[in-house]
Amino acid sequence: MKFKTTPYHHDLLKDHDRLAVFYQAIQEYDSGTDLAYDLGCGSGVLSYFLSSKFKEIKSLEIDRKTFNCARENLADFDNVEVINSDVLDYNFTKKADLIVCEMLDTALVDEEEIPVLNHAKKFLKEDGIIIPQGVINTVELANIERDYVHWDEGVKYEILSDEVVYSELNFLQDINPEFKISLNLQAKKEGILNGLKITTYTKLTDDIIAGPLPMLNPPLLIPLEEKKIKVNEFINVEIKYIMGNGIESIETKYL
């Protein structure tokens, strides 16, 4: 099936690995399940995957141009309704078996995944599930070449510590978007420390975990005050941000 898209969603569709993991997760459902919500449906490709599994799919998209693409792409599917609405303003009238919400980015800082799910999961059945189930966030000490928060694409950096999990989020639970943690990270080599690398892994189901992909959670590089470190030295740092408020909300400091 050929999809009409905006330029951004065209790039999303080109990330075949990203599509594959969501397709695989959705395919675990038995056909004929009642209702699914696709929140932030974009071009409608995940709703297309859902269409053979669910009797009814409600696909919400806030951007008018993207909504028009999705409505055209899914026009032939009688069980899919595409709705031009902010999830937070939509009048949910029925509880769903499944919520699909791919408003994902690294550490969930730059997208609305957490505010949207904190609201929408009130309209999920008691035994309902969310795809993805959650995320796993990791951090590493790094030497980076830029003095501002940026993605790791097309830049050079050196990793100075092992990768450490600093948070695991389960989307079925209520999550406070205001996040803060202090960490004691051990250097594995000496060098100039001036940043952190944050990586997010997406847990789609119990058995499917996707690492960073071209259009799914590229790692973030975050500056720290520069200091020279030695092998096995412990570095105590604080990471603070607000999920959904953008990368400008990220703050780091030594403790």
168 plus 71 within the same structural domain: no
Does residue 11 carry a pLDDT above 70?
Answer: no
58: domain range?
7-102
In the predicted structure, residue 39 carries a pLDDT above the cut 80: yes
Closest to 68 (Cα-Cα) out of 37, 44, 49: 44
Residues whose CB falls within 8 Å of the CB of residue 249, separated by 6 or more in sequence, listed in order? 109, 241, 242
Q: What single-letter DSSP state applies at residue 30?
A: P
Q: Is residue 120 part of a domain?
A: no
Q: Give the distance from CA 197 to its chain's centroid.
A: 17
In a domain, 44, yes or no: yes
Residue 5's pLDDT is 74
**pLDDT score, position 7:** 67
Outline where DSSP puts E strands in 8-67: 33-39, 54-61
pLDDT tens profile 222-255: 999 999 999 999 999 999 999 999 999 999 999 9
Structure tokens at 194: 């001036």
Q: Does residue 81 lie within any of the structural domains? A: yes
In angstroms, the CA 85 to CA 90 distance is 6
Place 133 in a pLDDT band, splitting at 50, 70 and 90.
very high
Same domain, 146 and 88: no
Average pLDDT value over all residues in the chain: 94
Exposed, middle or buried: residue 96 (CB in 10 Å: 0-12, 13-18, 19+)?
buried
pLDDT of residue 70: 95
Mean pLDDT of 134-147: 97
120-to-43, 70, 86, 222 alpha-carbon distances in Å? 20, 21, 11, 31
- Token pair, residue 162, equals 């092992």
pLDDT tens-digit readout, 81-128:
999 999 999 999 999 999 999 999 999 999 999 999 999 999 999 999
In a domain? residue 119 = no
Q: Rounded CA gap, 42 and 69, in Å?
A: 8
pLDDT of residue 10: 55
Domain total in the chain:
2
